[in-house]
Structure 1
Amino acid sequence: MPMAFGVVAGVVLAAILVLVGLFKLMWRVAEPNEALVISGSAHKTEGLGDGMGFRIVTGRGTLVIPGVQAVRKLSLDLNETQLVVDCVTHQGIPLRVKGVVIFKIGDDMVSIANAARRFLDQQKMMPERVHIVFAGHLRSIVGGLTVEDMIRDREKLIGQTRAACGTEMEKLGLIVDSLQIHEIEDPTGYIKNLTMPHAAAVQRDARIAQAEANRLATEAEQTAFARMAEATRDSEILQAGYQAERDRAAAAARQAGPLSEAAARQEVVVQETRVAELESLRREQQLQADVRKPADAAAYEIRTRAEAERDAQISAAQARARETELEAAAEAAAMEARGAAEAKATRATGEAEAAAAEAKGLAEAASARARGLAEAEAIQARAAALAENQEAVVAQQLAENWPAIVQAGAGAFGNVDQMILLNGAEGMSDLFTKALTMGGTGLGLARRLLTTMSEPPTAAPPEPHSVPVTDA
């Protein structure tokens, strides 16, 4: 039994050792800076889908079946590649750009899978591939820039290069941690020529600054010398002033006696003047008390009485003005009432007078109409009589107006101041006879005119008769 038990224990121990050896053989652990790529069967990897043919393990352990699955490691360490690229700028100037690219495989599963497909057995070829990618894009970007742009803004060159290479690096499963441009070599000397004006300007500014410094130093030295001379002059002036004070003190000591006497006399004069001023002030105050104050009081009294009388007169005048105003208002009211009554009476009287005037006008119009009718009838009757017996009518008119006709004929002698008759009484008779003859001639003329008016228009006008004129 003990032997059997020992055999069983040995078998169990051997089995355990075998199992431990198999576990160690099958168990693989990924280091922090590496990824395990396990192939040999279909696996499902997070973010990659099904049927990829391998799985990726990072940062943990996993079981691998020996002989069925293969395990390979993919380094996640940093890598770098030196860039030395010959380029030509937009101006046609050849340059050599030197830099460095620091890159690594991305930490995500997609980047690790892309890198595993491309670099799993060729990880040493990654720097060369990255150099090729960056060299091509760097030449293209430099060809669109000028030398000045590259020198003044290297960040722009770096940014454009990283942006241009980003897509291709992502396809390779790589990410760029850093891109630096170390140096831009210029075999033609273009950059050196660009710096010469600035160097000359700097040299010029340095010379100007040195000259300015020399000038300032010279001015400072001269100012120091001037201050030394000024200090010497001030010292001599002070010494001379002190000597003058000593001389004045000695002279004052010599003149102390006469000056004391003069000062005493001056003080006496001053005191006497002060006494005279006080006396004058006393007299002025006495005059104010004796004369001016009583005069001011009397003037104030007179002014007060005058103002009281003026106020009384003003009050009386205002009372009289108020009384007059009230009387005028009463009289205006009375006049307004009388005017209203008179207007009413006038309106009634006017209406009566208008009625009377209207009646009177109607009566006068009727009378004028009657007279007009009567005159019209008389004129019509005379016209009829004239048409029937013109000579009778004319004779009647001449008879009625004969005295006036004779008077008009005699009027020719009214302006005669002196008349001389040659044949005495007979001359006077002849004169009157001729005047009457003129009247008869006028009667015959009137008859002919009436006859002419009664004849038809085609009849010839009668010949004019001459009127005899007798000289005085």
Structure 2
Amino acid sequence: MWRVAEPNEALLISGSRHRTEGIGEGLGFRIVTGRGTLVLPGVQAVRKLSLDLNAADLAVECVTQQGIPVHLRGVVIFKVGDDYISIANAARRFLDQQTKMVDRVHNVFAGHLRSIVGGLTVEDLIREREKLTEQTRASSGAEMEKLGLIIDSLQIQEILDPTGYIENLARPHAAAVQRDARIAQALADRMATEAEQEAEARKAEATRDSWLQRTGYQAEMDKAAAESKQAGPLADAAARQQVIVQETRAAELEAQRREQQLQVDVRKPADAQAYETRTVAEAKRDARISAAQAEARETELQAAAEATRVRAAAEAEADAAKVRGLAQAEATRAVGTAEADADQARGMAAAEAAKALGLAEAAAIKARAEALRDNQDAVIAQQLAENWPEIVRAGAEAFGNVDHMVLLNGADGMSDMFAKALTMGGTGLGLARQLLASMNPAQENGVAGQKNGTPVAPVAPVAPVRLDTEGA
């Protein structure tokens, strides 16, 4: 009949009406925690509700604001509240289903996580994970209170990205870190190499100095030994000439040996010194080249400035020449216009004179044509009379190539022959025809024509003329 509640459980006694402390109206059952109570068997029923901590693993698939799917892994640690209202709410919902409490809590948090993650980006999830936790606790607090549960801890343990978005976000940073690491390693290697080269150079310099000192000491020792060896032979030079020759040859061989030894021992240090000298010379040469380039650049700028000044002067001179040329052209144009007007005036005067001359000639021709039309025989007779000497001279030319001519009938035969020469198409007849053609220039095939724009009256055809020598 006497039941005692353990520290981690609550006793729920039902079967009689009881009032719970802190609640105005009764719940219909009594809650006992941390103490003992009297229970009437058969009248009252006693049940236990665990107040232990429970953990619900969260595995929620969400989609961010960017449309990128992510998988959230976390854990929720919860328990039934210690106050009577929380115990009563939890008892009414989970008294016979305490094993399903974890699933219910998982469903509540999964819904809130999907809603909150849908308004965030992947970068927000990574940088502000605590903010996500606080928002989830705040949004699910009311529902957990209705269930009579309180949240002791909510942790987002892992954010999985099946698309590789998070990994791609990390690539630039990883590449930058790797780049900085490689640069740092390269700088360290370079500094180490420079230190090693400097140490080797100092070592070579010390070796060279030591060798030079040893060589100098050896030369002095050889010189002293040679002098001591040659002291006796020099006193008896005449008697020991052959000995001196042999010793000289030995000295030459020794010198050759020493020269070879010097080539072997000195060459490398000397090459190193030559390399140093050449490097210094190249550095000085580069400095001189840089100075020469700077001077050349300065000269080039000065030349450009001078070219600009010359170009400006040339442009001014060209403008002046252009103005002078325009003035010259205007003057030449005016002179040409005046000369053209004068030439036009002279041409018009010449044309008027030619026109007057042509009109006069046309009038003369017209008068001659009218006279020929009115009294053709008289005109022809007059022209023939005026030109008979030429006609007779032309007829006589027919006998110019005759060396000997025999006439049987004397003077009568001579007259007949001369008349025939004039009337049978000889030179005299041709001259007469030309005379008639000049008298009637406009007559052609008996039809009226026009010459040089002047109308010519039609003239009757001229009948052939037969010359009678007797009449002449």
TM-score of the aligned structures, taking structure 1 as reference length:
0.43
Which of the two has higher C-alpha Rg? 1
TM-score of the aligned structures, taking structure 2 as reference length:
0.43
